[in-house]
Amino acid sequence: MLMELTHRCPLKCPYCSNPLALDRARDELDTATWKRVISEAAAIGTLQGHFSGGEPMVRDDLAELVGHARAEGLYTNLITSAVLLTASRMTELAQAGLDHVQISFQGADAEVADPIAGLRNAHAKKIAAAKLVREAGLALTVNAVVHRRNLHQLPAMIELAVEAGAQRIEVAHVQYYGWALKNRAALIPTRAQLDEATIIVEAARTRLNGILTIDYVVPDYYASRPKACMGGWARRFFNITPSGKMLPCHAAETLPGLRFERVTDRSVGEIWADSPAFEVYRGTAWMAPPCQGCPRAEIDWGGCRCQALALTGDAAATDPACGLSPNHALMAALAVAESTAAIDDFAYRMIS
Ligand code: SF4
Ligand code: SF4
pLDDT score of 41 more than 80: yes
Task: Name the residue with the closest Cα to ligand 2, atom 6.
Answer: 322
Entry pTM? 0.94
Q: How far is CA 216 from CA 25, 213, 278, 322, in A?
A: 34, 10, 28, 19
Give residue 120's pLDDT. 96
* Residues β-bridged to residue 246: 240
141 band by pLDDT with thresholds 50, 70 and 90: very high
Mean pLDDT of 122-128: 98
Percentage above 90 pLDDT, the chain: 88
Atom of ligand 2 nearest to the CA of 322: 6
221 band by pLDDT with thresholds 50, 70 and 90: confident
Percentage above 70 pLDDT, the chain: 100
Give residue 256's pLDDT. 86
Atom of ligand 2 nearest to the CA of 294: 4
**By the 8 A CB rule, do 167 and 141 touch?**
yes
125: CA distance to ligand 1 center in Å? 15
Could you report how far apart the first and last alpha carbons of the chain are, in Å?
28
51: CA distance to ligand 1 center in Å? 13
What CA–CA distance (Å, rounded) separates 105 from 275? 36
* Residues β-bridged to residue 103: 80, 142
pLDDT score of 219 more than 90: no
248 upstream amide cis, omega within 30 of 0: no
Give residue 98's pLDDT. 98
Which of 349, 350, 351 to mutate for ligand 1's pocket (most ligand atoms within 8 Å of CB)?
349
Q: What is the pLDDT of residues 316-352, one digit of tens each?
A: 999 999 999 999 999 888 888 888 887 778 999 988 7
Query: Does residue 175 have its Cβ closer than 6 Å to ligand 1?
Result: no
In sequence order, which residues have a C-beta less than 8 Å from that of residue 111 and are 6 or more positions away?
Answer: none
pLDDT score of 241 more than 80: yes
Q: Which helix (H) or strand (E) holds 42?
A: helix 31-43
Give residue 285's pLDDT. 96
Residue type, 33: T
189 band by pLDDT with thresholds 50, 70 and 90: very high
Query: Does residue 122 have its Cβ closer than 6 Å to ligand 1?
Result: no
Which of 225, 229, 284, 301 to mutate for ligand 2's pocket (most ligand atoms within 8 Å of CB)?
225
Site residues for ligand 2, CB cut-off 6 Å: 225-226, 290-291, 294, 296-297, 300, 302-303, 318-319, 322, 324
303 band by pLDDT with thresholds 50, 70 and 90: very high
Give residue 133's pLDDT. 98
Q: Based on the number of CB atoms within 10 Å of its own CB, is 74 exposed (0-12), middle (13-18) or buried (19 or more)?
A: buried
**By the 8 A CB rule, do 129 and 85 touch?**
yes
Atom of ligand 1 nearest to the CA of 53: 5
* Residues β-bridged to residue 80: 103
Among all bound ligands, the one having the nearest atom to the CA of 113 is 1
Q: 3-class secondary structure for 174-228?
A: CCCCHHHHHCHHHHCCCHHHHHHHHHHHHHHHHHCCCCCEEEEECCHHHCCCCCC
Extract the runs of DSSP E, i.e. beta strands, from the chain.
Answer: 2-4, 48-52, 75-80, 100-105, 139-146, 168-173, 213-217, 239-240, 246-247
Q: Based on the number of CB atoms within 10 Å of its own CB, is 337 exposed (0-12), middle (13-18) or buried (19 or more)?
A: exposed
Mean pLDDT of 26-35: 98
**By the 8 A CB rule, do 232 and 280 touch?**
no
Atom of ligand 2 nearest to the CA of 321: 7
Atom of ligand 2 nearest to the CA of 295: 4
Give residue 44's pLDDT. 98
**Residue 230 DSSP label:** G
Q: For residues 184-214, b (16+ Cβ closer than 10 Å) or e, as one string?
A: bbbbbbbeebbeebeebbeebeeebeeebeb
What CA–CA distance (Å, rounded) separates 20 from 253? 10
Which of 318, 319, 327 to mutate for ligand 2's pocket (most ligand atoms within 8 Å of CB)?
318
Q: What is the pLDDT of residues 73-86, one digit of tens each?
A: 999 999 999 999 99
**By the 8 A CB rule, do 56 and 6 touch?**
yes
Query: Does residue 242 have its Cβ closer than 6 Å to ligand 1?
Result: no
* Residues β-bridged to residue 240: 3, 246
Q: 3-class secondary structure for 269-288?
A: HHHHHHCHHHHCCCCCCCCC
Mean pLDDT of 145-155: 96
323 upstream amide cis, omega within 30 of 0: no
Give residue 339's pLDDT. 87
Give residue 332's pLDDT. 86
Give residue 139's pLDDT. 97
Closest CA to 324 of 290, 287, 286, 284: 290
Longest Cα–Cα distance of the chain, Å, equals 56
pLDDT score of 301 more than 80: yes
Query: Does residue 18 have its Cβ closer than 6 Å to ligand 1?
Result: yes
273: CA distance to ligand 2 center in Å? 26
What CA–CA distance (Å, rounded) separates 303 from 315? 11
Give residue 352's pLDDT. 72
Q: What is the pLDDT of residues 245-290, one digit of tens each?
A: 999 998 899 898 899 999 999 999 999 999 999 999 999 999 999 9
